[in-house]
Structure 1
Amino acid sequence: MGIIRGHPELALFLCLAVGYLVGKLHVGPITLGGICGTLIVSLLLGTRHVSVGDDVKTIFFAIFIFALGYMAGPQFFANLNRRGLRYGVLSLIELVTVLVIAYVLAKAFDLDIGTASGILAGAATESAVVGTATEAIGKLSGLSAHQISEYQGHVATAYTVCYLFGLITIVLFTSQILPLLMHINLADASRELWARMRGDAPALESDEREALPSTVGRTYLVTHADGRTVGEIEAASGQRVTVERIKRGGKILTPAPELRLTLSDLLLVVGRRGATIEAGRHIGPETGSVPGLDSPLATRQISLTDKATTGRTVDQLQHDHPEFLRDGVYVTDVVRGDQDLPAAPETVLRRGDVLTLVGARSGLDRLTKKLGSVVKNSSADFIYIGFGIALGSLLGQVVVRIGDIPLSLGTGGGCLVSGLVFGWFRNRSQTFGAFPPQAASTLKDLGLAVFIACTGLDSGPQAWPLIKQYGALLPFAGIGMVLIPACISLFVGLKLLKLDKPLLIGAIAGQQCSTPAITAITQVSKSSVPLIGYTITYTLSNFLLPLTGPILVGVLGS
């Protein structure tokens, strides 16, 4: 133990390793998760008076909260529309309800600021509240250093107990109880809803790809098309196909609309699968791979920066720009934020969407100049990221007084707002400020894990006395603060907002920012449909719930 006390880096990474190992343990459909596991391990180790410097905690929390905002920024601002704000009502219900319940509990049971904030964070299953509340407590005037340390320790302990019961409650309530209350089979309802939304297209999971890709290349031997021109063949099926290459004997010909085909020519035809197969009926029998005929197509990811593309469908975009048809360029993927959208003709585009274009390099160059810019996402732009965190930290130092109540975003809230704005601004062009999704996700998870480990180590000595003092209150608070806002949202979503039931179930999990809950829901539904509702409320609640920590601390501290 002396070695661990003398080497805080050893204690820190030991907490991470063992904590994430504990977090992998399954109890039915429920796992604690790495963050909760890390907090449990660090609290136990902290009872042996092992600690890490406060600066480490502050720095890693700033990294976590900025990355969180950066990833959510594009979707957050995109959802500030009629549809998004409709779902946003549920996030507001969550925000107001948990604040009111936490305040009532604090007054009714004479809870200290730290315990009340920990109950709020744990019951809302929002780890970021631990950071924003802990930071806000440290800035309260009139408290001694000992009181601040004690209250900050109570935040972590109350969070741990309430989180366990809140997590179990939200997972079971959304995945098992809500479908029963709604009188639906979640898997059947999700499948029916998807059929209404997307026709016959299957709903793909995040680790799945189409077995039959939509854009294909096929080679045909000219028999039926003898004497017809390339232009006639491309127009014959009434759908988009492109003759990319022609082999006549030992020669490779450059296809031109007026070029006339002869018997036994070999053609490489590229296009949508159905259109390419239909074109083959007008050309002749399909052949296997032909040496020299396989023409590699260039692939490029571009970010839509042209304002005129907003609100246009993929089909309308292709008709607006003749280069798509003339040069044989196809849209194969549409990515919005971290979501993959179908590259279907009816998919509506927004500024900032990333399109994957496949086709001739010359056509790609012309379209890139007209539509946007090539996505630069190979490595993180630490200039942009560093300025973002620095500005967020400065913003967090601003204090606004409402009467006698001092309110401040703190470093956490400031970096969250900064991350949202910087992530949104980067999404508009994607030519600067790169923060690859995998890198952002890794830094987000690492930042939170290190912060939680430091908090747990500091809080260890106060943990057991607090649990003995409040006993049954903590688990009951965790259960009640999940069920009350969820039930209110259920009524509002069904009766007032008229939301589709699978989307409403996902949205209730999202308002709670519960990844384990949506994981259980998608397993039960055997579909990713509930994720549509989850994504909107999760994004909004990710921004709103961390602000509840400073608000509650400010109100109680006054």
Structure 2
Amino acid sequence: MSFVTQPVVALFISLALGYLIGKIRVGPVQVGGVCGTLFVALALGQFGVTISPDLKNVAFALFIYALGFTAGPQFFNNIRGGLRYGVLSFVEVATVLALVAVAVLLFNLDAGTASGLFAGAATESAVLGTASDAISRLALPAAEISRLQANMATAYSVTYLFGLVAIVVFTTQIAPLLLGIDLRKEATALAQQLGAEGDNGTENGVPEIVSRAFRAGPVSGSTVGAFESSVNGVVTIEQIGRSSGFIKATPETQIEPDDVVLVIGRRRSVIAVSERFGVEVPMPAGDNVPLVERQVVLVRREVAGLRIRDLRRLASDEQRRGVFISRVRRLGQSIPALPGTVLEQGDILTLYGSEDAITRAATELGHMLPTTSATDFVMLGLGVVAGLLLGELAIQVGPLNLTLGTGGGALISGLVFGWVHMHRPLLGAIPPAAAEFMKDFGLATFIAAIGLSVGPDALALLKQYGLMLPVLSILVSAVPGLISLYIGHHLLKIEAPILLGAIAGQHCSTPSISALVSLAGNSTPVIGYTVTYAISNVLLPLMGPVVVGMIELIH
């Protein structure tokens, strides 16, 4: 057993077994690696294993900085212009704070237990870091601080699972029942409003942007530009095949009777204009059709807020020729790339078309996504240090010493550096895969360190509160969703699939949005999810010190 209790060995056993447990799925509910890691670490902690606090602090600083860095572009944009959905994140924060305050008054919860309840019921693990830092700054003996932090970890481990189940069941079963809707039918109708093709509006994996080859037929004698103008630019003649081979088509190119024209556009548009040509012919060899995909970060503020169809209408004939938006990713989630989809600053657009056309369009939208796989450690180091310095600033308000702490400071710094990187891609690069590793490994290591340090105190808390914590977590998880459902449906008039996605996002619940997308049959719920997720993922961690300070005032 001495080998297992070595700190490094115990840490990686916690990670390995924790993520193995996290893969267990019951219906749409999956515990997840972070919570699984805490379960294993709590068990190993009973043998007296401890990990250096310095490792815990480094891991959390990396996690929270990467969290802010990846959320920065969308967070600032949503705060500025996405409050129709984003207001639900503020409902989440205010309601959870109020419910936790009531629980403290009724059951005399200490700062650690209440912070764990807040983090677990809201399924926001980052709160543990900011709350733990705030607890460590309290004017209490070291033994009492350790006890409070142990209570926080134990309360989180108990309440997280029940909070997770509650929000998944609420968004996928209870909320549609209260609204009296069939989610799949509502999502299909919404997708068709946004311009989806087909009768069911589902995303079946068939490419949205297609290319077809036709004999020129009736359009011969016209120029390429004249034909494209006659169909309002919904398709582009990219190349023309003649006896000498394929040539690049320009608006001035004259179409001859024996030409083969290569047409690209959205599937529905290509089908609609196909009757204007002669017979369809087999596609030419791949080396004759140099169409590529490139990812572009949407930066220009003038373009943000426009629908895809409006973007094409506003572009000049030359700007929109030969390029189409085939996919849109926001905060790592795919949203429907449909004509009615509204674009936001920070979106990753996949452009499909010729290299020249994409390069031309990219300069009007933002900039090409850097292909580098190297992390800018200069800016990473400066960003983390700036966050730590910011976290040291404090304001004395009566008996309270208000400070962002390590977590809050690093989060704010990450937001700013992420926003700067979006506008200046050569500064502070952290490749998406590296940022995800920083978040996953940093949080899991931090959680493992907390769990290993808890020791026997965990059992004492469970004996003290029994079933009360699971019941409280269900209430704290479901009540904010219920209030948001009323506000979103009756006051904000948000479409049902988007509203349910927004409720999942305000709770930062990835399992909920996965279940919703599965039930809806398309990704329309993700439209609301990304807005509230970006805001809640910042606001909820910042509430850690607020919860601790609030409890100190109550007591």
Please, what TM-score do these two structures have when normalized by structure 2? 0.88
> For 2:267 and 2:59, how far apart are their aligned partners in 1?
49
Choose from 312, 322, 325 the match for 1:328: 322
SS across alignment from 1:434: coil
Q: Is the 8 A contact 1:233 1:282 kept in 2?
A: no
> For 1:196 and 1:493, how far apart are their aligned partners in 2?
20
In structure 2, the partner of 1:499 is 494
> For 2:163 and 2:249, how far apart are their aligned partners in 1?
65
* Residue range with higher mean Cα deviation, 460-469 or 196-205: 196-205
In structure 1, the partner of 2:47 is 48
State yes or no: 1:168 paired with 2:168.
no
Q: Is the 8 A contact 2:334 2:526 kept in 1?
A: no
Choose from 179, 187, 192 the match for 1:190: 187
* Residue range with higher mean Cα deviation, 407-416 or 376-385: 376-385
State yes or no: 1:219 paired with 2:213.
yes
State yes or no: 1:2 paired with 2:2.
yes
Q: Tell me the alpha carbon deviations over residues 237-262 of structure 1, each in whole angstroms, 9 at most, x when there is no partner.
A: 55454444444434555655555555
The 5-angstrom pairing of residues 301-320 of structure 1 reads 301-318=295-312, 319-320=314-315
The amino acid across from 1:536 in the alignment is V
SS across alignment from 1:400: strand
Structure 1 gaps, min length 5 = none
State yes or no: 1:425 paired with 2:420.
yes
SS across alignment from 1:432: coil
SS across alignment from 1:4: coil
> For 1:259 and 1:521, how far apart are their aligned partners in 2?
49
Q: Is the 8 A contact 1:233 1:279 kept in 2?
A: no
Distance 1:204 1:467, change over 3 A: farther
In structure 2, the partner of 1:129 is 127
Q: Percent identity?
A: 45
Q: Tell me the alpha carbon deviations over residues 94-132 of structure 1, each in whole angstroms, 9 at most, x when there is no partner.
A: 222322332333343333322222222222222111111
> For 2:338 and 2:449, how far apart are their aligned partners in 1?
48
In structure 2, the partner of 1:462 is 457
Distance 1:48 1:322, change over 3 A: same
In structure 2, the partner of 1:288 is 282
SS across alignment from 2:83: helix
Distance 1:191 1:234, change over 3 A: closer
Q: Tell me the alpha carbon deviations over residues 409-432 of structure 1, each in whole angstroms, 9 at most, x when there is no partner.
A: 111111111222222232235343
> For 1:543 and 1:475, how far apart are their aligned partners in 2?
25
Q: Tell me the alpha carbon deviations over residues 28-85 of structure 1, each in whole angstroms, 9 at most, x when there is no partner.
A: 4433221111111110110001121111111111111112222222222222246x32
In structure 2, the partner of 1:447 is 442
Distance 1:231 1:543, change over 3 A: closer
Instruction: Give the C-alpha shift of residue 350 in structure 1.
Output: 4.2
In structure 1, the partner of 2:174 is 177
State yes or no: 1:156 paired with 2:174.
no
* Residue range with higher mean Cα deviation, 98-107 or 127-136: 98-107
Q: Is the 8 A contact 1:157 1:463 kept in 2?
A: yes
* Residue range with higher mean Cα deviation, 335-344 or 525-534: 335-344
> For 1:525 and 1:487, how far apart are their aligned partners in 2?
20
In structure 2, the partner of 1:508 is 503
Q: Is the 8 A contact 1:246 1:293 kept in 2?
A: no
Distance 1:17 1:203, change over 3 A: farther
Could you say what the CA RMSD is over the residues aligned between the two structures, in angstroms? 3.1
Larger radius of gyration: 1
In structure 1, the partner of 2:474 is 479
The amino acid across from 1:176 in the alignment is Q
In structure 2, the partner of 1:532 is 527
Distance 1:295 1:58, change over 3 A: same
Distance 1:219 1:3, change over 3 A: same
Q: Tell me the alpha carbon deviations over residues 338-384 of structure 1, each in whole angstroms, 9 at most, x when there is no partner.
A: 34455545544444444444444444444444553322143233333
In structure 1, the partner of 2:388 is 393
Choose from 356, 365, 368 the match for 1:374: 368
The amino acid across from 1:23 in the alignment is G
SS across alignment from 1:45: helix
State yes or no: 1:97 paired with 2:76.
no
In structure 1, the partner of 2:512 is 517
> For 1:94 and 1:223, how far apart are their aligned partners in 2?
60
Q: Is the 8 A contact 1:304 1:429 kept in 2?
A: no
> For 1:291 and 1:522, how far apart are their aligned partners in 2?
37
Instruction: Give the C-alpha shift of residue 16 in structure 1.
Output: 0.8
In structure 2, the partner of 1:300 is 294
The amino acid across from 1:151 in the alignment is L
Distance 1:94 1:132, change over 3 A: same
Q: Tell me the alpha carbon deviations over residues 507-533 of structure 1, each in whole angstroms, 9 at most, x when there is no partner.
A: 333322222233333334344333333
The amino acid across from 1:55 in the alignment is D
Distance 1:50 1:201, change over 3 A: farther
Distance 1:305 1:536, change over 3 A: closer
The 5-angstrom pairing of residues 256-267 of structure 1 reads 260=254, 262=256, 264-267=258-261
Q: Is the 8 A contact 1:513 1:542 kept in 2?
A: yes
Distance 1:324 1:15, change over 3 A: same
Q: Is the 8 A contact 2:237 2:261 kept in 1?
A: yes
Choose from 530, 534, 537 the match for 1:542: 537
The 5-angstrom pairing of residues 1-80 of structure 1 reads 1-5=1-5, 7-80=6-79
> For 1:428 and 1:13, how far apart are their aligned partners in 2?
38
Distance 1:498 1:383, change over 3 A: same
Q: Tell me the alpha carbon deviations over residues 479-510 of structure 1, each in whole angstroms, 9 at most, x when there is no partner.
A: 22223333333333344333333333333333
Instruction: Give the C-alpha shift of residue 4 in structure 1.
Output: 2.3
Distance 1:204 1:40, change over 3 A: farther
In structure 2, the partner of 1:87 is 85
Distance 1:308 1:431, change over 3 A: farther
Distance 1:200 1:469, change over 3 A: same
> For 2:407 and 2:506, how far apart are their aligned partners in 1?
20
* Residue range with higher mean Cα deviation, 226-235 or 546-555: 226-235
SS across alignment from 1:80: helix
> For 2:121 and 2:219, how far apart are their aligned partners in 1?
70
> For 2:194 and 2:250, how far apart are their aligned partners in 1?
40
Choose from 512, 533, 549 the match for 1:554: 549
The amino acid across from 2:170 in the alignment is F
Q: Is the 8 A contact 2:502 2:532 kept in 1?
A: yes
Q: Tell me the alpha carbon deviations over residues 291-348 of structure 1, each in whole angstroms, 9 at most, x when there is no partner.
A: 59823135433334444434444455445334335x6344434444434455545544
> For 1:320 and 1:155, how far apart are their aligned partners in 2?
54
> For 2:90 and 2:164, how far apart are their aligned partners in 1?
20
The amino acid across from 1:159 in the alignment is Y
Structure 2 gaps, min length 5 = none
Q: Is the 8 A contact 1:237 1:275 kept in 2?
A: no
The amino acid across from 2:533 in the alignment is Y
Q: Is the 8 A contact 1:247 1:293 kept in 2?
A: no
